[in-house]
Amino acid sequence: MKNDYRKILRICSKVMFGVYIIFLTYFLFFAESTGRTFESRSYHYNLELFKEIGRFIKYRHMLGTKAVLLNLVGNVVAFIPFGFFLPILHTKCRSFLFTVFLSFEFSLMVETIQLVSKVGSFDVDDLLLNTIGGALGCLIFLYMNRIRRTYETKEKERI
């Protein structure tokens, strides 16, 4: 019974991770609501850490709450599922540092594709925020996994 449950959990996690990657790809590269168009654009990049974060905080009244939250909180929240699903799909990713590294690598790949395709911009602040999101997702997984193990141990002791 326990193995069937884990097998179903892995299958559901793979499906949900696939759906997540599809939605993330859409919002990062194709969603016109987030300013993603394939018009002729020049290369946009920011290589100075905290430059864009500082700009969003400094000009939050002019930019509006929605723009600030979309940029700052959105970049973190968008990568929480990445850090959460990886440890479920691959036991090697149960290492916090490994998952953080993979979150950084994936974010770097996304930012590089945005730069090369001229859709969006390459921003080191986004790398930082996305990596923080992946780290939070992994921490959520590790915490929930600890709760699950505690519950299973108590169930075994009760029987």
Q: Using CA atoms, how far apart are residues 67 and 6, in angstroms rounded to an integer?
A: 40
**What tokens appear for 18 in the block?**
């696939």
Is 40 contained in some domain?
no
The model's pLDDT over 67-92, given as tens digits with 9 standing for 90+, comes to 899 889 999 999 999 999 999 999 88
Say what the pLDDT of residue 38 is: 57
Number of domains in the chain: 1
Domain of 22? 2-33+45-158
Is 86 contained in some domain?
yes
Is 38 contained in some domain?
no
Is 147 contained in some domain?
yes
Q: Name the nearest CA neighbour of 72 among 57, 62, 85.
A: 57
Is 113 contained in some domain?
yes
SS3 79: helix
State the chain's mean pLDDT as an integer: 90
pTM of the model: 0.89
Q: Using CA atoms, how far apart are residues 117 and 112, in angstroms rounded to an integer?
A: 8
The model's pLDDT over 139-159, given as tens digits with 9 standing for 90+, comes to 999 999 999 899 888 887 887
